[in-house]
């Protein structure tokens, strides 16, 4: 899956500081609900990794989809899957929520 592009949380936030429902980017969090209760980023769409295949209709093919998880492993797998399904603009968030709390918002706890 080396063809998937990646960006750090800082690069994401610098590029899309006002991301959200009216943005040209979707931040897709593929972590489980118990992980979200510990740490979450406002403005994300949460679809746990295992549910992605059945919920593709919730994702816009017109937006850039930036996929995040805890550290970047699951999100890279989901990004590859989305590319295989024909989504043209998919990016992996390197370091996931863990890096987000270190680079963008230290109020978000690490776990």
Q: Any idea which residues carry the catalytic annotation?
A: 69
DSSP 68: E
Look at the alpha carbons of 2, 96, 51, 57 in this order and tell me if their dihedral is positive or negative: negative
Tokens of 24: 């040209």
Sorted by sequence, the CB contacts under 8 Å of residue 107 that are 6+ apart come out as 101
Distance, in Å, from the CA atom of 39 to the CA atom of 84, rounded to the nearest integer, reads 29
Sorted by sequence, the CB contacts under 8 Å of residue 32 that are 6+ apart come out as 48
DSSP 90: E
């Amino acid at each position: 899956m080396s063809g998937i592009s990646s960006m750090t949380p800082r690069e994401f936030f610098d590029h899309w500081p006002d991301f959200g429902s009216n943005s040209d980017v979707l931040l897709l969090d593929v972590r489980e609900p118990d992980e979200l209760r510990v740490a979450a980023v406002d403005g994300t769409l949460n679809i746990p990794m295992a549910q992605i295949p059945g919920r593709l209709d919730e994702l816009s093919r017109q937006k850039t989809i930036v996929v995040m998880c805890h550290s970047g492993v699951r999100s890279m797998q989901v990004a590859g899957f989305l590319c295989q399904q024909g989504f043209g603009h998919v990016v992996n968030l390197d370091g996931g929520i863990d890096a987000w709390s270190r680079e963008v918002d230290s109020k978000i706890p690490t776990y």
